[in-house]
């Protein structure tokens, strides 16, 4: 069977399996003329832009949807760009993380902060550039059969773990299966992997074999989503782990980090700091231009320390007094304190987070009963989305409207966004009249539902969440939920409570842009969740989309996913916002407006 070699796959949600293109990886900044692609079934066109063309240099993916995040101030986007200063080796960078790090296992938690730190120690077979195009990182090449049933990947030679053990194909295969068991898209791939018939996801493995450094992955049905799975950025990641880690069930205690990445963890004092040092045995991806998370890494830093500073005012003060070098997300209302501060630069990230109001459906008033469904729809209608954003992040230049079930700004869009606005189930200002009408229907089905206890959990040490909680507390009381209470907790306590059945009924949160890169990404809900959501209709549509080859049918399935989201909402999406990030000016080569803080190829001047 003929195999087509792939070197760059852009935006796999456009079903690139069926429009395979040959692209030669190159570190040149000069774009080459597109190479001709072999004839294939037409890819779906959810965005008006054409299917990605082959090129030497990455071409920015088209941005479409109901809205896209505004770009950060380009004058503040990159610190220490080329020509600003010559790269220097040495020094330890001091980095304040987004929130408290409770786990170092990148597969065990959806906490973004774990992945942000972990990707410096753990590598992946595939990473993405700043426009989210997919590139090989730990592989020298990879192939896919035209029928979409078989993928082969050849590992680069010489890669070793932080403890000195050589990387093996077994480590890669077991790491992938471990990740698949905890990832929504991964569980779907397990279901179409030969040998898993009749097995639960927790007992399943991907169908993989190895010959030397070459791994073959097989599926019973064609799918275009494999590289999307292997190139995930967040919240959980397909990190390649040592046997001492991958042999542990996700969620069980893991105190060590043993990867092949550029930096190794030396110390973890929970609630205080993590310390990393340069891994001398790191084998870089030579010759591949560096861009966001992919390409050749030079270890300029001797190491870095990730500091846990819960109070945001204290974080700002530490940056102002040169006690730290980099701040991850912090409260936008404090950003003005950095204006005019000598030696400090800040900017908003380019692509936004989606504000979220999560429901606990394990019990009333938001359970899976017909009345519980109506209660959730009532809140969706009444939610004053613009007021939430104004309170939490500021003026409308700092947030953008979005009405899809996943993040706006990807190539995917849906006609459902217009319909739900016309219906009034999600609007900019909220439709309190419609919300009260729907809640009255719920009262008919379950008298007293609006008098049930309703505790909104809001983390007080995280951006967005406390302010959003206060606005929603007021809105729910106005809607008719008379026993609504706002509970303020630190992030760690909030995670512990909302990870189970209670005591909680709702919680404010947000979802990173990387969670919504495609219709099967983690932000797109599934039919069964730990929060008590159960709707087999969405799983049926997801399964159809996973193996769909017809572009029109794929678009119709995505529209149906969005319709189901609003018909039986597992959560509310507010709008997208762009949190700030800040650095000292002696930090060079750092992408200030990229989606995540990345310390690779960064140096201290």
Mean pLDDT of 168-172: 98
> Which three-class secondary structure string do you get for 9-63?
ECCHHHCHHHCCCCCCCCCCCCCCCCCCCCCCCCCCCCCCCCCCCCCCCCCCCCC
Structure tokens at 329: 């997300």
CA distances for 34 relative to 56, 93, 290, angstroms: 8, 41, 21
pLDDT bracket for residue 58 (50, 70, 90) = very low
Nearest to 142 by CA among 154, 129, 125: 154
Say how many C-beta atoms besides its own lie within 10 A of residue 451's C-beta.
13
pTM of the model as a whole: 0.82
> Which three-class secondary structure string do you get for 332-376?
HHHHHHHCCCCCEEEEECCCCEEEEEEECCCCCCCCCCHHHHHHH
The answer, yes or no, to whether residue 23 has pLDDT greater than 80, is no
**Residue 89: CA atoms inside 13 Å, Cβ hemisphere, count?**
4
Q: Which is more confidently placed, 457 or 462?
A: 457
Contact yes or no for 484/304 (Cβ under 8 A): no
CA 280 – CA 256 distance, rounded (Å) = 18
Mean pLDDT of 96-124: 90
Domain topology for 263-351+580-604: D-Maltodextrin-Binding Protein; domain 2 (3.40.190)
Structure tokens at 145: 């059969």
pLDDT of 84 reads: 58
DSSP for 284-322 reads --TTPPPBTTBS-----SSEEEEE----HHHHHHHHHTT
Nearest to 515 by CA among 318, 258, 256, 228: 228
pLDDT of 36 reads: 30
Q: Which is more confidently placed, 605 or 397?
A: 605
Mean pLDDT of 50-78: 31
Residues 205-255: tens digit of each pLDDT: 999 999 999 999 999 999 989 999 999 987 789 999 999 999 999 989 999
Residues 500-550: tens digit of each pLDDT: 888 999 999 999 898 888 899 888 888 888 899 999 999 999 999 999 989
CA 111 – CA 235 distance, rounded (Å) = 6
Mean pLDDT of 167-191: 96
H or E stretch at 230 = helix 226-230
CA distances for 241 relative to 153, 162, 238, 244, angstroms: 17, 10, 9, 8
Is the four-CA dihedral 392, 397, 403, 407 of positive or negative sign?
Answer: negative
Structure tokens at 158: 């010489």
Alpha helices (H) in 383-500, listed in sequence order: 385-393, 416-423, 432-445, 465-479, 491-498
Structure tokens at 590: 């750092």
Contact yes or no for 238/125 (Cβ under 8 A): yes
Nearest to 275 by CA among 451, 109, 101, 412: 101
Say how many C-beta atoms besides its own lie within 10 A of residue 87's C-beta.
14
CATH number belonging to the domain at 353-577, selected among 3.40.350.10, 3.10.105.10, 3.10.530.10, 3.40.50.880: 3.10.105.10
pLDDT of 421 reads: 97
The answer, yes or no, to whether residue 41 has pLDDT greater than 60, is no
Mean pLDDT of 440-462: 96
pLDDT bracket for residue 14 (50, 70, 90) = very low
Phi, psi of 92 (to 5 degrees): -115, 120
What is the percent of the chain where pLDDT is above 90? 72
**Helix (DSSP H) and strand (DSSP E) numbers for the chain:** 14, 25
CA 267 – CA 590 distance, rounded (Å) = 24
Size (the chain), residues: 605
Where exactly are the structural domains of the chain? 263-351+580-604, 353-577
């Amino acid at each position: 069977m003929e195999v087509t070699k792939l070197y760059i796959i852009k935006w796999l949600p456009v079903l690139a399996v069926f429009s395979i293109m040959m692209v030669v990886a190159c570190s040149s900044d000069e774009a080459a003329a597109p190479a001709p692609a072999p004839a294939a079934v037409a890819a779906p066109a959810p965005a008006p832009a054409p299917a990605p063309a082959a090129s030497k240099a990455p071409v920015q993916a088209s941005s479409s949807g109901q809205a896209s995040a505004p770009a950060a101030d380009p004058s503040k986007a990159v610190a220490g760009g080329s020509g600003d200063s010559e790269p220097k080796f040495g020094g330890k960078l001091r980095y304040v993380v987004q929130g408290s790090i409770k786990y170092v296992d990148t597969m065990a938690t959806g906490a973004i902060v774990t992945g942000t730190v972990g990707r410096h120690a753990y590598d992946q077979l595939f990473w993405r550039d700043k426009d989210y195009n997919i590139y090989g990182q730990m592989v020298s090449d990879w192939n896919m059969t035209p029928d979409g049933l078989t993928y082969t990947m050849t590992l680069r030679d010489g890669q070793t773990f932080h403890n000195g053990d050589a990387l093996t194909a077994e480590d890669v295969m077991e790491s992938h299966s471990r990740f698949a068991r905890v990832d929504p898209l991964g569980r779907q791939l397990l279901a179409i992997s030969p040998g898993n018939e009749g097995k639960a996801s927790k007992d399943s493995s991907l169908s993989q074999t190895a010959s030397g450094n070459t791994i073959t992955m097989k599926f019973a049905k064609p799918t275009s989503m494999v590289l999307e799975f292997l190139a995930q950025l967040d919240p959980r990641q397909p990190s390649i782990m040592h046997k001492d880690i991958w042999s542990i069930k996700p969620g069980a205690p893991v105190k060590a980090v043993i990867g092949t990445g550029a930096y190794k963890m030396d110390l973890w004092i929970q609630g205080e700091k993590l310390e990393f040092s340069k891994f001398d045995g790191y084998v870089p991806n030579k010759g591949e231009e560096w861009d966001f998370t992919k390409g050749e890494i030079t270890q300029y830093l001797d190491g870095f320390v990730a500091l846990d500073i819960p109070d945001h005012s204290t974080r700002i003060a530490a940056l102002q007094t040169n006690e730290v070098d980099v701040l991850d997300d912090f409260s936008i209302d404090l950003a003005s304190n950095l204006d005019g501060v000598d030696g400090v630069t800040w900017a908003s990230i380019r692509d936004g987070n989606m504000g979220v109001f999560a429901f606990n459906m394990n019990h009333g008033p938001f359970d899976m009963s017909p009345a519980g469904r109506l209660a959730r729809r009532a809140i969706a209608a009444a939610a004053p989305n613009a007021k939430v954003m104004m309170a939490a992040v500021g003026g409308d230049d700092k947030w953008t409207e979005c009405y899809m079930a996943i993040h706006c700004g990807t190539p995917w869009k849906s006609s459902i966004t217009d319909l739900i606005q016309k219906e009034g189930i999600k609007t900019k200002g909220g439709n309190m009249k419609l919300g009260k009408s729907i809640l009255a229907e719920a009262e008919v089905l379950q008298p007293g539902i609006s008098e049930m206890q309703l505790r909104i959990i809001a983390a007080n040490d995280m951006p967005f969440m406390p302010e959003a909680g206060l606005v929603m507390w007021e809105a729910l009381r106005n809607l008719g939920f008379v026993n609504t209470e706002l509970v303020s907790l630190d992030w760690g306590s909030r995670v512990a409570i909302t990870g189970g059945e209670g005591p909680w009924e709702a919680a404010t949160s947000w979802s990173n842009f990387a969670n919504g890169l495609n219709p099967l990404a983690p932000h797109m809900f599934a039919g069964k969740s730990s929060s008590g959501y159960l709707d087999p209709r969405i799983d049926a549509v997801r399964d159809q989309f996973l193996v769909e080859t017809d572009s029109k049918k794929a678009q119709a399935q995505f529209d149906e996913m969005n319709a189901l989201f609003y018909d039986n909402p597992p959560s509310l999406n507010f709008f997208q916002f762009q949190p700030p990030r800040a650095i000292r000016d002696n930090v060079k080569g750092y992408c200030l407006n990229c989606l995540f803080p990345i310390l690779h190829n960064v140096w201290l001047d």
